[in-house]
Chain A
Amino acid sequence: AQSVTQLDSQVPVFEEAPVELRCNYSSSVSVYLFWYVQYPNQGLQLLLKYLSGSTLVKGINGFEAEFNKSQTSFHLRKPSVHISDTAEYFCAVGSNFGNEKLTFGTGTRLTIIP
């Protein structure tokens, strides 16, 4: 069984400040890790993904995340946020061990303060 924990339900950050959204996962098999963003009243958009290879992955809109197997983490970072980054961010885990479903965390609402 897989699970994802996003400890921070809400993160307020001043504009142009850095941000880190935390994600920890649990799985008994090899995993693939994802961050999705959901803007108000919209669907889910993939920000970035880790499938294999380099543990530092870069995504759209200046976001990046680092896969840390020993700490079972996949934290999302951005060095300088903008008002347009205000959204809900979901971490998700998948595996190819017999199924391809995604297991999502509870989400982190990022609010940018002007």
Chain B
Amino acid sequence: EPEVTQTPSHQVTQMGQEVILRCVPISNHLYFYWYRQILGQKVEFLVSFYNNEISEKSEIFDDQFSVERPDGSNFTLKIRSTKLEDSAMYFCASSERTGGFYEQYFGPGTRLTVT
């Protein structure tokens, strides 16, 4: 069964450093998402991406964040200058289409630890 994959599974970085989290969505999917889950808290929407542009972003997704689909398979989340509060589990998701709502398939997540 096709699945969303994410690398790395765990990333440790120092405050102020740039990090790139990588995701490979399911191959025929067109919509891509990033969510995050701070330890012990709920999963929060960050951004959705379609047709090479951002569809929607949350208040969390400020200028420190960016997303990119650099090739036909990868979908990346970049945090330009990490802060301690960016420590969280980051989930990538993809869906086949929208308009009538289609299931979002989630990856296993990348745990980001900022020290």
Chain A positions within 8 Å of B, measured between CB atoms, are: 32, 36, 42-46, 49, 51, 90, 92, 94-96, 99-107
Contacts and interface: CB of A to CB of B under 8 A. Distances in A.
Contacts of A107: 42
B42 A102 contact: no
B75 interface: no
Interface residues of B, number: 25
A44 B43 CA distance: 10
Contacts of B41: 106
Contacts, number: 54
A91 to B, nearest CB: 10
A100 B101 contact: yes
Interface of B: 31, 33, 35, 41-45, 48, 55-56, 58, 91, 95, 98-101, 103-109
Nearest to A91: B42
A94 to B, nearest CB: 6
Contacts of B55: 99-100
A103 B45 contact: yes
